Chains A and B, each alone.
Chain A
Amino acid sequence: PAAAPEASAPQDRQTLLAVLQFLRQSNLREAEEALRREARLLEEAVAGSGAPGEADVTGAEAASALLSRVTASAPGPAAPDPPGAAASGAGAVSGSASGPVAPGKVASVVVEDQPDVSAVLSAYNQQGDPAMYEEYYSGLKHFIECSLDCHRAELSQLFYPLFVHMYLELVYNQHESEAKSFFEKFHGDQECYYQDDLRVLSSLTKKEHMKGNETMLDFRTSKFVLRISRDSYQLLKRHLQEKQNNQIWNIVQEHLYIDIFDGMPRSKQQIDAMVGSLAGEAKREANKSKVFFGLLKEPEIEVPLDDEDEEGENEEGKPKKKKPKKDSIGSKSKKQDPNAPPQNRIPLPELKDSDKLDKIMNMKETTKRVRLGPDCLPSICFYTFLNAYQGLTAVDVTDDSSLIAGGFADSTVRVWSVTPRKLRSVKQATDLSLIDKESDDVLERIMDEKTASELKILYGHSGPVYGASFSPDRNYLLSSSEDGTVRLWSLQTFTCLVGYKGHNYPVWDTQFSPHGYYFVSGGHDRVARLWATDHYQPLRIFAGHLADVNCTRFHPNSNYVATGSADRTVRLWDVLNGNCVRVFTGHKGPIHSLAFSPNGRFLATGATDGRVLLWDIGHGLMVGELKGHTDTVCSLRFSRDGEILASGSMDNTVRLWDAIKAFEDLETDDFTTATGHINLPENPQELLLGTYLTKSTPVAHLHFTRRNLVLAAGAYSPQ
């Protein structure tokens, strides 16, 4: 949209650049800024064209290497991509995908959000006196520390991005010793959650190091976002102009995105809750779009009282499907959720008879479900993987809790049956041909009794298996691996059916959609991909994360996908058009677990910082923080009715939290919604209902059975 005219008319762009350059040279900063905003041009592009001589060859090579990494994995028949479209950032998905996705139509999606590296680097060209940098920084520090309390907290956000950019500028201009002393002097002031990034930064001491350094690129390609009240901003601006501190002012102008809001400055707690991500806070407008978080209407299936065999006749399909005319009017009006997406927003597979059978089983179990609450905690059954030699890398449990799959570092996927029913594969073709196809128990006859066992091992990957997911109908299993593939296994024959190649780097996680057919995967190449089982190429590519996508989860209505990343953000993507509709910042470490509440309204995320954060999807707000874990939260799961949130962690504990209470009194008034200024509850400890220590077994997976029994799984790892 905004980028399109610009792309279509490259000449216009050229002139724009020229004008901008002129404005800069004549020091008309405000005009320049206004124009740039208007044109939505990349800062780097401007700077790059301003100093074309700096575009050194090696830098370009690094860029092309990075580019190839992303684009090579994109589907082949890529639509011609408008150059510079990356300016719009996250939702770098071409507009052609915006129609309703028919299964089978591969949306042509190309990601190009790696800008020209030489341009990025040359942005650092303008330099001041290297010896003055320390003075500039400490001067600003002094100013901020002496400012009023209400402004100090807000302005303190500037320290980290300024520090990084000033350091990079020094390094780029080859003032190694100054850069080192600058780093030594001020790196201790930065917040502890930036330590990991600072460690990478400290290894950058020469200009040559900057080429191809991904952290540096991350920092440069995405403007660091700060949210500051107008008063504080004016204060800063006045100070910098008084002091003629052009160096810092340049950085603020060019490398930072300052999101100015009107009203009271935020408190320290409010700021602390939201910062921590690699690229600052989420922009306010990033979380403004509407999200249909409601649940889809369940297909009407009448539960027969006794006889299950008759259900085939009694059931009714979904309204938009084959049998819309059967009377389901009463329940339809009753169940319509105003926040739910249109039923056919994302085409979903039709229900098969077996699915309906399963749904009926589910409903029957539901009637026996335990109502949980603070006074009625669930029992936890722990499945320990023994002799796994710390090689367990992924676990999944089927929805009906009959099978457990484990992905291992030795490239195997193992499937266990945890019910007395053993795992059997289908007979060989020659034997199958002998079977009477008309017989009633044909489904039973096709099974080969000789293959019955409790454990089946699936061989096929060539690297540690980091993700596993059962299909809702238990016929398939997905596994994602370090070898860059996602594999689909049949649980009828226990063989591999498809290897989905797309990620060229390790795939950290994969998950089936709750309605089957679609699945999502995310990996080291920083993108998440949406696939359909019958397409060998991805349907959507969700690009925007600045670091590995560690975990991916489908929304219960299958219309959205949440991804958690090592850039310490959580993003919510619209499956329909591939847009990023929510960016949640606030975690202080890479995110390793996600869970949607069963009603679809809330999202819980767990990270290496040991905290679990709760988010309101509709308002795009953080609504809670659960502190208690002392290590990475590996697994999160809501109970079937959403009363209890269970979290499992590397600190060998399972903790249960009162989810109802956590979501009870939300501040969702207009002001909070408009500004995103959240006030977290004071005493989150009250929400902790129980802590259960395992015997040196990190909790890798959690699952609530249909009757609300918790199944936990992990590998025993003796110290």
Chain B
Amino acid sequence: MSRLPAHPGVHLSPTQPLYGFHAQEFIPFRFASGGGRELYFYEEKEVDLSDIINTPLPRVPLDVCLKAHWLSIEGCQPAIPENPPPAPKEQQKAEATEPLKSAKPGQEDDGPLKGKGQGAASADSKGKEKKAPPLLEGGPLRLKPRSIHELSVEQQLYYKEITEACVGSCEAKRAEALQSIATDPGLYQMLPRFSTFISEGVRVNVVQNNLALLIYLMRMVKALMDNPTLYLEKYVHELIPAVMTCIVSRQLCLRPDVDNHWALRDFAARLVAQICKHFSTTTNNIQSRITKTFTKSWVDEKTPWTTRYGSIAGLAELGHDVIKTLILPRLQQEGERIRSILDGPVLSNIDRIGADHVQSLLLKHCAPVLAKLRPPPDNQDAYRTEFGSLGPLLCSHVVKARAQAALQAQQVNRTTLTITQPRPTLTLSQAPQPGPRTSGLLKVPGSIALPVQTLVSARAAAPPQPSPPPTKFIVMSSSGAASTQQVLSLSTSAPGSGSTTTSPVTTTVPSVQPIVKLVSTATAAPPSTAPAGPGNVQKYIVVSLPPTGEGKGGPTSHPSPVPPASSPSPLGGSALCGGKQDTGESPPPAPGTPKANGSQPPGPGSPQPAP
């Protein structure tokens, strides 16, 4: 309850209230310079009326309502969803790592006030503690207080329901249960039970070769790992053996030749990698111990193919460095072994399948690493001499990996171009985005035209956008030297079609007027929530003026970013009028270039392959 919300507060004080801070845009003014002057003008957005009319109404905000729950019952706080989790992660950690120091104000406070049942138990344990020190004669010795993991009836019911759903037959229920494990905040008291459940479950089901149950249990581990409120360190010692078993066990299913136990091994391997990433420290050395275990079982000549596969998968998931140091040196040896199985007389079908899987696994994981390590010319013979029988296959995979990497690099190149862009120029609220967002261009004042254009490429080329809205861009850039204007329009296809087609259509128009225009119909939705829904067409019409004209047009001009606006283009006072000028009025396109019709987004009409 704030007694003085901002607006009435300003209203009361003798200061003038600040106006003009209601706009969605970060700064409502646009900058233009030229003729030795700096100009700021108010951006006039063009909004399509039909879009406004057709936009579905926003949901009516929910009305205020009153909800009652028990915050405390006779001094004890019930563990219900309405109350905060009884112990936050920090406290769980403190209890686990520094049991003596861990100030448990809650527990100590509660100690004397607990209900009858718990009160008796705690009094009991306290009595024992008091007796202990005299026995040891150790001065001020404090023993670790026994933590009582007593589940309430509700928690017991919950535990029963969850575990049954997790290993039961109904997939929908299982999904719900896993979701609950992954998100519910109050589970820490049940953690010991869950971890025992998993480790015992794995133990039993490995013996019985019950692949399905093993998969379910591994999914439980994943869900527990995903829960941000749980402090799992105390239970890792139980979980790792269980997960490791699912990776390297000799047999995980009843019919090894048919069942896809490889997927389980892969999944569990990823889990182990995740565990390593989260919990490995210099004191517990989880990663090195796991690596050692995998290597040992791989090196062993007598290891069956299934275990071999698991070990390699486990190692490979630990990262490129591990692959480089541990897997690559053994490729030749392993290749020989695979060849002897695949090319030799068929002794066992199972072995053959195993060898086949190991081979594809090795190829899958090693190729990207090799592509990074080795210089480009990929020579089959060189690979053969280095890696033996796997060489040729590896070589072709590396070539493929390289091609893919090149493709990605291109995209990365473009996205890096975009991530350096100050997208805040478009919206006030920014979704935090991964990756380095140091923006050099942000510092360039007034380079608003530039970011907008690069935003275009961000939309067009960044595949990680979950489902980009159908966005149409028209980028117009006029090369100053030729006093022509290129109208470069791109359109991204609607979500769902999968591939984003970037189609630069360049129109060279004789004009000196630099035009910067942004037409965004999704006025209310910030880009972070941009995928508002199909049918919500965003239009960015960007017309900018690069001072140095490079090429009169053609798609080549697209990937090269517009030069930084730090060199101001020769803008006259007409720039202002230009801002208002509709692109539709732009002069006719020069012959020889595909026509893009002004403000109307060209749409998929003239798609060209992405450069």
Q: Which residues of A pack against B, CB within 8 Å?
A: 212, 374-394, 404, 406, 408-409, 414, 416, 418, 455, 463-464, 466, 482, 505-506, 508, 524, 550, 592, 634, 650, 654, 656, 688-695, 698, 700, 710, 712, 714-715
The answer to whether A383 and B67 touch across the interface, beta carbons within 8 angstroms, is yes
Q: Please measure, in the bound complex, the distance between the C-alpha atom of A386 and the C-alpha atom of B84, giving whole angstroms.
A: 16
What are 7 A-B contacts with C-beta separation under 8 Å? A376-B74, A383-B68, A387-B61, A387-B63, A416-B66, A654-B72, A694-B71
Q: Please measure, in the bound complex, the distance between the C-alpha atom of A592 and the C-alpha atom of B8, giving whole angstroms.
A: 18
The answer to whether B73 and A379 touch across the interface, beta carbons within 8 angstroms, is yes
Question: A382: which of B63, B82, B109, B112 is its contact (CB, 8 Å)?
Answer: B82
Q: Please measure, in the bound complex, the distance between the C-alpha atom of A712 and the C-alpha atom of B1, giving whole angstroms.
A: 14
The answer to whether B64 and A406 touch across the interface, beta carbons within 8 angstroms, is yes
Task: Please judge, given known A-B contacts A387-B65, A689-B113, whether A695 and B72 are in contact too, CB under 8 Å.
Answer: no
Q: Please measure, in the bound complex, the distance between the C-alpha atom of A455 and the C-alpha atom of B74, giving whole angstroms.
A: 30
> Does B432 count as interface, using CB distance less than 8 angstroms?
no
The answer to whether A695 and B63 touch across the interface, beta carbons within 8 angstroms, is no
Question: B71: which of A409, A414, A418, A692 is its contact (CB, 8 Å)?
Answer: A692
The answer to whether A386 and B73 touch across the interface, beta carbons within 8 angstroms, is no
Q: Please measure, in the bound complex, the distance between the C-alpha atom of A688 and the C-alpha atom of B105, giving whole angstroms.
A: 11
The answer to whether A695 and B68 touch across the interface, beta carbons within 8 angstroms, is no
B11 to chain A, nearest CB (A): 8
The answer to whether B109 and A692 touch across the interface, beta carbons within 8 angstroms, is no
Q: Please measure, in the bound complex, the distance between the C-alpha atom of A438 and the C-alpha atom of B35, giving whole angstroms.
A: 92
For A712, list chain B residues within 8 Å (CB). Answer: 71
Question: A464: which of B8, B14, B106 is its contact (CB, 8 Å)?
Answer: B8
For A212, list chain B residues within 8 Å (CB). Answer: 14
For B82, list chain A residues within 8 Å (CB). Answer: 382, 384, 695
Q: Please measure, in the bound complex, the distance between the C-alpha atom of A650 and the C-alpha atom of B3, giving whole angstroms.
A: 12
The answer to whether B69 and A381 touch across the interface, beta carbons within 8 angstroms, is yes
For B77, list chain A residues within 8 Å (CB). Answer: 692-693
What are the interface flags for B50-74 relative to A under an 8 Å C-beta threshold, 1 for contact and 0 otherwise? 0000000000011111111111111
The answer to whether B68 and A386 touch across the interface, beta carbons within 8 angstroms, is no
For A698, list chain B residues within 8 Å (CB). Answer: 1
B96 to chain A, nearest CB (A): 21
Task: Please judge, given known A-B contacts A482-B8, A506-B12, whether A380 and B66 are in contact too, CB under 8 Å.
Answer: no
The answer to whether A383 and B64 touch across the interface, beta carbons within 8 angstroms, is no
Q: Please measure, in the bound complex, the distance between the C-alpha atom of A50 and the C-alpha atom of B73, giving whole angstroms.
A: 69
> Does B592 count as interface, using CB distance less than 8 angstroms?
no
Closest-by-CB residue of B relative to A65 is B14
The answer to whether A463 and B8 touch across the interface, beta carbons within 8 angstroms, is yes
Q: Please measure, in the bound complex, the distance between the C-alpha atom of A527 and the C-alpha atom of B5, giving whole angstroms.
A: 21
The answer to whether B68 and A418 touch across the interface, beta carbons within 8 angstroms, is yes
The answer to whether B1 and A393 touch across the interface, beta carbons within 8 angstroms, is yes
Q: Please measure, in the bound complex, the distance between the C-alpha atom of A691 and the C-alpha atom of B113, giving whole angstroms.
A: 12
The answer to whether B75 and A592 touch across the interface, beta carbons within 8 angstroms, is no
The interface centre, meaning the residue of A388, A688, A710 with most chain B CB atoms within 10 A of its CB, is A388
Question: A386: which of B64, B72, B109, B113 is its contact (CB, 8 Å)?
Answer: B64
What are the interface flags for B1-29 relative to A under an 8 Å C-beta threshold, 1 for contact and 0 otherwise? 11101001000101000000000000000
> Does B83 count as interface, using CB distance less than 8 angstroms?
yes
Closest-by-CB residue of B relative to A404 is B66
The answer to whether A690 and B113 touch across the interface, beta carbons within 8 angstroms, is yes
Closest-by-CB residue of A relative to B81 is A695
A717 to chain B, nearest CB (A): 9
Q: Please measure, in the bound complex, the distance between the C-alpha atom of A394 and the C-alpha atom of B5, giving whole angstroms.
A: 13
The answer to whether B5 and A691 touch across the interface, beta carbons within 8 angstroms, is no
For B2, list chain A residues within 8 Å (CB). Answer: 390, 393
Question: B83: which of A390, A408, A550, A694 is its contact (CB, 8 Å)?
Answer: A694
For B110, list chain A residues within 8 Å (CB). Answer: 690
* Other contacts beyond A374-B112, A692-B72, A694-B71: 11, CB < 8 A: A382-B68, A382-B70, A384-B66, A384-B68, A388-B64, A404-B66, A408-B64, A482-B8, A689-B109, A694-B83, A698-B1
B30 to chain A, nearest CB (A): 33
For A378, list chain B residues within 8 Å (CB). Answer: 72, 74
Give the top 5 A-B pairs by smallest Cβ distance, nearest first: A377-B75, A382-B71, A380-B71, A387-B62, A380-B72
The answer to whether A377 and B72 touch across the interface, beta carbons within 8 angstroms, is yes
The answer to whether B73 and A634 touch across the interface, beta carbons within 8 angstroms, is no
For A385, list chain B residues within 8 Å (CB). Answer: 64-66
Closest-by-CB residue of A relative to B82 is A695
A443 to chain B, nearest CB (A): 27
Q: Please measure, in the bound complex, the distance between the C-alpha atom of A375 and the C-alpha atom of B115, giving whole angstroms.
A: 9
The answer to whether B1 and A690 touch across the interface, beta carbons within 8 angstroms, is no
B280 to chain A, nearest CB (A): 31
For B74, list chain A residues within 8 Å (CB). Answer: 376-379
Question: A381: which of B12, B14, B68, B106 is its contact (CB, 8 Å)?
Answer: B68
Q: Please measure, in the bound complex, the distance between the C-alpha atom of A506 and the C-alpha atom of B65, giving whole angstroms.
A: 26
The answer to whether A695 and B3 touch across the interface, beta carbons within 8 angstroms, is no
Task: Please judge, given known A-B contacts A376-B74, A381-B69, A387-B65, whether A409 and B83 are in contact too, CB under 8 Å.
Answer: no
B275 to chain A, nearest CB (A): 30
For B69, list chain A residues within 8 Å (CB). Answer: 381-382, 384
Q: Please measure, in the bound complex, the distance between the C-alpha atom of A284 and the C-alpha atom of B78, giving whole angstroms.
A: 48
Q: Please measure, in the bound complex, the distance between the C-alpha atom of A715 and the C-alpha atom of B73, giving whole angstroms.
A: 21
For B1, list chain A residues within 8 Å (CB). Answer: 392-394, 634, 650, 698, 700, 714-715
Task: Please judge, given known A-B contacts A392-B1, A689-B113, A695-B83, whether A386 and B65 are in contact too, CB under 8 Å.
Answer: yes
Question: B66: which of A383, A592, A700 is its contact (CB, 8 Å)?
Answer: A383
Q: Please measure, in the bound complex, the distance between the C-alpha atom of A380 and the C-alpha atom of B77, giving whole angstroms.
A: 9
For B62, list chain A residues within 8 Å (CB). Answer: 386-387
Closest-by-CB residue of B relative to A711 is B68
The answer to whether B109 and A688 touch across the interface, beta carbons within 8 angstroms, is yes
Q: Please measure, in the bound complex, the distance between the C-alpha atom of A386 and the C-alpha atom of B63, giving whole angstroms.
A: 8
The interface centre, meaning the residue of B1, B5, B64 with most chain A CB atoms within 10 A of its CB, is B1
Q: Quick one: which of B101-135 are within 8 Å of A by CB?
A: 105-106, 109-110, 112-113
What are the interface flags for B290-327 relative to A under an 8 Å C-beta threshold, 1 for contact and 0 otherwise? 00000000000000000000000000000000000000
A510 to chain B, nearest CB (A): 14
A49 to chain B, nearest CB (A): 29
For A376, list chain B residues within 8 Å (CB). Answer: 74
The answer to whether A693 and B83 touch across the interface, beta carbons within 8 angstroms, is yes
For B112, list chain A residues within 8 Å (CB). Answer: 374-375
Task: Please judge, given known A-B contacts A691-B106, A692-B77, whether A387 and B64 are in contact too, CB under 8 Å.
Answer: yes
The interface centre, meaning the residue of B8, B14, B66 with most chain A CB atoms within 10 A of its CB, is B66
For A482, list chain B residues within 8 Å (CB). Answer: 8
Q: Please measure, in the bound complex, the distance between the C-alpha atom of A68 and the C-alpha atom of B65, giving whole angstroms.
A: 42
Q: Please measure, in the bound complex, the distance between the C-alpha atom of A408 and the C-alpha atom of B63, giving whole angstroms.
A: 12
Q: Please measure, in the bound complex, the distance between the C-alpha atom of A32 and the C-alpha atom of B61, giving whole angstroms.
A: 69
B57 to chain A, nearest CB (A): 18
Closest-by-CB residue of B relative to A628 is B105
For A506, list chain B residues within 8 Å (CB). Answer: 8, 12
Q: Quick one: which of B81-95 are within 8 Å of A by CB?
A: 82-84
Q: Please measure, in the bound complex, the distance between the C-alpha atom of A175 and the C-alpha atom of B75, giving whole angstroms.
A: 61
Q: Please measure, in the bound complex, the distance between the C-alpha atom of A692 and the C-alpha atom of B69, giving whole angstroms.
A: 13
B458 to chain A, nearest CB (A): 29
For A393, list chain B residues within 8 Å (CB). Answer: 1-2
The answer to whether A466 and B3 touch across the interface, beta carbons within 8 angstroms, is yes
The answer to whether A695 and B84 touch across the interface, beta carbons within 8 angstroms, is yes
The answer to whether A379 and B109 touch across the interface, beta carbons within 8 angstroms, is no
Q: Please measure, in the bound complex, the distance between the C-alpha atom of A212 and the C-alpha atom of B69, giving whole angstroms.
A: 50
B391 to chain A, nearest CB (A): 57
For B109, list chain A residues within 8 Å (CB). Answer: 688-691
For B3, list chain A residues within 8 Å (CB). Answer: 466, 508, 550, 592
The answer to whether B66 and A690 touch across the interface, beta carbons within 8 angstroms, is no
Closest-by-CB residue of B relative to A689 is B113
Q: Please measure, in the bound complex, the distance between the C-alpha atom of A592 and the C-alpha atom of B2, giving whole angstroms.
A: 10
Closest-by-CB residue of B relative to A505 is B12
Closest-by-CB residue of A relative to B110 is A690
Q: Please measure, in the bound complex, the distance between the C-alpha atom of A191 and the C-alpha atom of B336, giving whole angstroms.
A: 80
The answer to whether A693 and B84 touch across the interface, beta carbons within 8 angstroms, is yes
For A508, list chain B residues within 8 Å (CB). Answer: 3
For B61, list chain A residues within 8 Å (CB). Answer: 387, 389
The answer to whether B66 and A381 touch across the interface, beta carbons within 8 angstroms, is no
